């Protein structure tokens, strides 16, 4: 099927909803961050960092970093034991937006992944540009 038209209707394919697109660009720093967020969202029970690391095929240290980012973003909170973590967006509106993000990611994985990478690359270029010597 072409990206330019739906094979059955001839219409352009659905794109990533604008609110989800904005959220990805402003709040999702990396694909592993998104994957970790979605793992927490899908889990019925709180998760340990080790379990998250296993599901992401990454080190526990990297999983700890992701959990710290998710906590700072007010998307997960420690469980009652202080060891496990659970999905806990700061607001109901944020929870609904993450639900929409999960749906969009399932339907448009490549588009959202490209969006994340393009944003990361743009930030890296801006950072590098800050160190370029300019002629006055």
Domains of the chain, residue spans: 18-129
- Cα separation, 78 vs 86, in Å, equals 6
pLDDT value for 2? 38
One-character DSSP codes across 26-57: HH---HHHHHHHHHHHH-SS-B-HHHHHHHHT
pLDDT value for 29? 95
Mean pLDDT by 10 residues, the chain (136 residues): 40 74 95 98 96 97 97 94 93 97 96 84 46 55
pLDDT digits (tens, 9 = 90+) for 73-92: 999 999 888 899 999 999 99
CATH architecture of 18-129: Orthogonal Bundle (1.10)
pLDDT value for 133? 60
Q: What is this structure's pTM?
A: 0.78
């Amino acid at each position: 099927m072409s990206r330019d038209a739906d094979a059955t209707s001839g219409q352009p394919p659905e794109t990533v909803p604008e609110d989800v697109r904005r959220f990805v660009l402003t709040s999702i720093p990396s694909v592993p961050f998104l994957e970790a967020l979605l793992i927490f969202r899908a889990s019925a029970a709180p998760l340990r960092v080790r379990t998250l690391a296993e599901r992401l095929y990454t080190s526990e240290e990297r999983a700890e970093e992701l959990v710290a980012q998710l906590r700072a973003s007010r998307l997960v909170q420690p469980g009652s034991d202080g060891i496990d973590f659970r999905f806990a967006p700061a607001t109901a509106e944020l929870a609904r937006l993450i639900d929409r993000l999960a749906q969009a990611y399932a339907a448009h994985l490549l588009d959202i992944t490209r969006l994340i990478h393009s944003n990361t690359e743009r930030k890296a270029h801006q950072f590098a540009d800050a160190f370029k010597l300019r002629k006055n």
